[in-house]
Chain A
Amino acid sequence: SQTIHQWPATLVQPVGSPLSLECTVEGTSNPNLYWYRQAAGRGLQLLFYSVGIGQISSEVPQNLSASRPQDRQFILSSKKLLLSDSSFYLCAWSRGRDGHYEQYFGPGTRLTVT
């Protein structure tokens, strides 16, 4: 069976510090991978998606970046965090073929920038 992991579960970082959130998927190959952000009381905002190693598409301009160094690893980064980056970050995967493949979400990382 497939599982998706995210870490850390919670993170408190000062303004201006770097960020690295990691997401890994097990039990599948060549998945589509996604990073979402959800501010308190708001809906999910798609940040990045990837259909393969090294292939990243950005949905919203911001000071965040994403990378996919391995088939089942997706990393969300920032060089300098802003207060507005405080949010709940979710990684998701879906099967990588054309069609109706539901997305499976990880447990999320709650980031607080102080």
Chain B
Amino acid sequence: DAKTTQPTSMDCAEGRAANLPCNHSTISGNEYVYWYRQIHSQGPQYIIHGLKNNETNEMASLIITEDRKSSTLILPHATLRDTAVYYCIVRGYGGATNKLIFGTGTLLAVQP
């Protein structure tokens, strides 16, 4: 699975959009981008995933560049409860194990 690079930390004002970048320059054609987040002292929570088209759900939007070498997770209106570590993960489709390899992620601090 391709490696990802994320900033260690970011700040965002409450009510503003939070844009979390992820670089995955070695991504291959059959690999998807997944985002999870982990609020302090809790287990990680799935947010969204995508291949090459932009995706949106009730939690966030995922924008993947045309060359697929980077992506951005967008939280449209960040709240204090969105303060968490956000993990960007790249993995291939399929495989019985469905394993995920977590990096160190980005600590997003939403400021009041």
Interface residues of A (CB under 8 A from B): 32, 34, 36, 42-46, 49, 51, 57, 88, 90, 92, 94-96, 98-108, 110
Interface residues of B (CB under 8 A from A): 32, 34, 36, 38, 41-46, 49, 87, 93-105
Q: Are A96 and B96 in contact (CB under 8 A)?
A: yes
Q: Can you name the residue of chain A whose Cβ is closest to the Cβ of B43?
A: A105
Q: Are B97 and A32 in contact (CB under 8 A)?
A: yes
Nearest Cβ on chain B to A53's Cβ, whole angstroms: 14
Nearest Cβ on chain B to A97's Cβ, whole angstroms: 8
Docked pose: A96 CA to B105 CA in angstroms? 26
Q: Are B43 and A90 in contact (CB under 8 A)?
A: yes
Q: Are A43 and B104 in contact (CB under 8 A)?
A: yes
Nearest Cβ on chain B to A99's Cβ, whole angstroms: 7
